[in-house]
Chains A and B, each alone.
Chain A
């Protein structure tokens, strides 16, 4: 596609539910990133993939957060047993290579009630 696509755009989950957020990066982009953006704050790094390899997951806040990119293209961020503090916009970004310009998707706004 023309840009990074994320789905769904909006997700409301009841506390304790599991959610899965999808990211379709720009075709051919090797690097893929997930960021979390709380209201009024800058994006905070969650995890990074180079092709299918998850090279950095230092930003994942707890073991309830899990990300995968099994074929080196589409990625899914899964949050288990959601809590209210998980409410945020989850942004996905991709870049052609290492150190290249990162293109962001529009994000998924997760609200946990």
Chain B
């Protein structure tokens, strides 16, 4: 089955700096890669996603890149703000195949220092 690894587990940056979180996956059938932000006491919230027919996607300060050959994808947050502080999870799913479930990474705790 699918296995998703995520690094780093913690990341501390100064306000205004960029943050990069990286994930690798194992199942070449995976074709959907969302990123979720989870604040304390809340459920995960989708912030951006990418499908395997696209190499890069950007939404304001957030971008995701996908390298399907190497089976890795990354989240880039530019001009970080204190409100970006949260736990971020990557996930992978083989949508359209035999299963419809998301496999999550172990999370990255991002702390943006003002």
Residues of A near any B CB (own CB < 8 A):
4, 31, 33, 35, 40-45, 48, 50, 55-56, 58-59, 91, 93, 98-99, 101-107
Q: How far is the CB of B44 from chain A (nearest CB, A)?
A: 5
A40 — which chain B residues lie within 8 A by C-beta?
A: 107
B107 — which chain A residues lie within 8 A by C-beta?
A: 40-42
B99 — which chain A residues lie within 8 A by C-beta?
A: 48, 56, 58
Docked-complex contact B104 and A42, CB < 8 angstroms: yes
Residues of B near any A CB (own CB < 8 A):
6, 32, 34, 36, 41-46, 49, 89, 91, 93, 95-96, 99-107
Docked-complex contact B32 and A99, CB < 8 angstroms: yes
Q: How far is the CB of A75 from chain B (nearest CB, A)?
A: 15
Q: How far is the CB of B59 from chain A (nearest CB, A)?
A: 13
B41 — which chain A residues lie within 8 A by C-beta?
A: 106
Inter-chain CA distance A35–B42, complex, in Å, is 14
By beta carbon, the residue of chain A nearest B91 is A42
Inter-chain CA distance A39–B102, complex, in Å, is 19
Inter-chain CA distance A4–B46, complex, in Å, is 13
With A31-B100, A48-B100, A98-B100 known as contacts, the answer to whether A105 contacts B43 (CB < 8 A) is: yes
By beta carbon, the residue of chain A nearest B101 is A45
Docked-complex contact B43 and A104, CB < 8 angstroms: yes
Interchain residue pairs A-B with the least CB separation, the first 6 = A42-B104, A99-B95, A104-B43, A45-B101, A106-B43, A104-B44
Determine which of B42, B102, B106 lies in contact with A102 in the assembled complex, contact meaning CB atoms within 8 Å: B102
Q: How far is the CB of A3 from chain B (nearest CB, A)?
A: 9
A104 — which chain B residues lie within 8 A by C-beta?
A: 36, 43-45
With A33-B101, A45-B101, A56-B99 known as contacts, the answer to whether A102 contacts B43 (CB < 8 A) is: no
